[in-house]
Chain A
Amino acid sequence: MEQSDAELWSRSRSGDPDAFGLLFERHAAAIYNFCFRRIGDWAVAEDLLSIVFLEAWRRRDKELPGDKVLPWLFGIATNVVRNRRRSERRYGGALRRMPKPQPERNFAERCDERVDDEQQMRGVLALLAQLRRHEQDVFVLCGWMGLSYEDAALALGVPLGTVRSRLSRARRRLRELDPAFGHEEGTTATAQEALEP
């Protein structure tokens, strides 16, 4: 039977790397995609993914409600992205020890897809950049990553009402900036897929 996040986190807290590795496997895709959606570069997102989990390990004394491991990881990821240069400097040694990626099959096809993603994301990030940074944080977590208001509040360390008002402001501003913009939460099956184990 598959162990819950709560069980794996409890084992991680007592210093069990294998349990932490399972949490990594379970949530790597969600954090990877979140980092890409804030940075717009898949290669950088991969390095930030490693930093997020190294940072989570470093903070393993943290007591978490059982179903809040992923929101908490999103909170760490938000800060890692926010302080990207500082994070990369802090973990530079660990990242340099990362082995070079091996060549993969269908690389050209995947590469084209990813270049397209990055080009499209640049335009989207230019639009998002016109929001206040805390509005961007809430929008990406709730609008694109499918977090509930409660989980976003935990991830960002702000009151629930603040999440609501920031998200409302972010959506209104995005509609003003681009009248075609009207994404509603809960309609993103693809975002949900990333969050499911």
Chain B
Amino acid sequence: MKSDYVPQLRDLPAGRVAERKRHLLATITLEKQGPRFALPAVALPRIRVAALTAPVLVLVGAIGVLSLDTGAASGTPALPEALPFSHGSNQQAVTLLDNASALRRQASDGTGPVTYAKTQNYALQVNVGGGTSTSYFETTVRQVWVAADGSAVAKTWLQDTTPAGAAVGPATDESSGQWQDTNKGLPATPAALKAALLATTPANTPASEQQTILAQGVMSQLGEGTATPRQAAALYQLLATLPGVFDAGTVTDNAGVAGQAIGVPTGTFDSGQTCVAVHSTPSQPQMDTILASRHALGQGITYLVLDPTTGQPLEVESIDTPNAPCGLDLPRVPTIEDYNVLLQEGQVAQTGALPS
């Protein structure tokens, strides 16, 4: 792709704007003439959950869709709960990372020419409208096979889940085909790794911003699931040098595996600006609160969960604290921005094969 590539903009074919407009207006006018021409019913805020109460199930059955109208801005969306992280010492985190790094450096690359990784990703997706918030609780499951020459193939599915992570309904094929592993060629020493992660950052970038970029970079690479043991070791060592790293206690990750968590600040966000943009009408009762919090900063924290006995990464989870911006009408609790659970990894004989 050319470095400045932007797809060419085109007008609609001649006359088609007017044609489409006529059709649009005819359709919305016909809508008033009876059910035959009715547009779909007004959107209900959808919260995809498996464990609905009986009366709600009756409602869902009656309207014939897997949707639930929360009916109010204060309705509690079915967002996944952040893992119960704690806030411990920097020294403890550094010790943990040093140990995990040593374990990874001793680990074997495994047998088989093809690296396999299976991950599950969730990302916060909320629509706000009419005083209600709609959360989409959908994850992407991805299998990747990376051959010895670096070529890779990936297959992904979409999967709805409950807040506890249980699958809801069948997974839907999303895509499959060639892939490029971003861990390919990543250095396995902390200094070279740092240089690689900052390679595209301008030299005059403030140090604090560089630390954030490094923290995001380290977590992103670990979350891919394809880092070799030596790369993971270097990523841990680099993480240990970043300011603000802290021990976050023992947790059970979203795949049900117990591990040790380490947290690192990964940037701030101005929640107030978003709130003003979303609620700028007098009818919104939250307005006073929003104006008062205009300059409030939220803090993003990203957590790595690892297996302290093997040093293997288990999950990377990013959380907005103390809560997501108020304009999103979400509960005032730490809110997951995204997580990557590393479900399975190993070396296999060929692309398409699974670890035993």
Contacts and interface: CB of A to CB of B under 8 A. Distances in A.
A190 to B, nearest CB: 5
A197 interface: no
Contacts of B4: 182-183, 187
A132 B123 contact: yes
Contacts of B220: 169, 172-173
B169 interface: no
B302 to A, nearest CB: 9
B346 interface: no
Given A33-B9, A161-B270, A191-B6, A50 B23 contact: yes
Interface in A86-144: 90-91, 93-94, 97-99, 101-102, 104-105, 110, 113-114, 117, 120-121, 123-124, 126-127, 129-130, 132-134, 143-144
State the majority secondary structure of interface residues on B.
mixed
B125 A50 contact: no
B14 A105 contact: yes
B5 A24 contact: no
B333 interface: no
A175 B60 CA distance: 45
B297 to A, nearest CB: 9
A33 B328 contact: no
Given A24-B20, A161-B267, A162-B269, A193 B9 contact: yes
B17 A25 contact: yes
Contact of B267 (A144, A164, A180): A164
B49 to A, nearest CB: 18
A150 B273 contact: yes
A159 B321 CA distance: 12
A30 to B, nearest CB: 9
Interface in A151-185: 153-154, 156-162, 164-165, 168-169, 171-173, 175-178, 180-183
Interface residues of B, number: 80
State the majority secondary structure of interface residues on A.
helix
A160 B179 contact: no
A154 B273 CA distance: 11
Contacts of B16: 46, 101
A150 B269 CA distance: 11
Interface of B: 1-17, 19-21, 23-30, 37, 39-40, 42-43, 121, 123-130, 133-134, 140, 154, 175, 177-180, 182, 200, 213, 216-217, 220, 266-271, 273-274, 277-278, 280-281, 283-284, 298, 300, 318, 320, 324-325, 328, 337-338
Given A129-B175, A130-B154, A169-B220, 18 more contacts: A24-B24, A54-B27, A54-B28, A59-B129, A63-B283, A113-B8, A130-B179, A134-B123, A143-B6, A159-B271, A159-B274, A165-B216, A168-B213, A172-B217, A176-B182, A183-B6, A187-B4, A193-B9
14 contacts: A29-B17, A110-B13, A132-B121, A132-B140, A153-B277, A157-B126, A159-B269, A160-B273, A161-B268, A165-B266, A165-B300, A173-B220, A190-B6, A194-B9
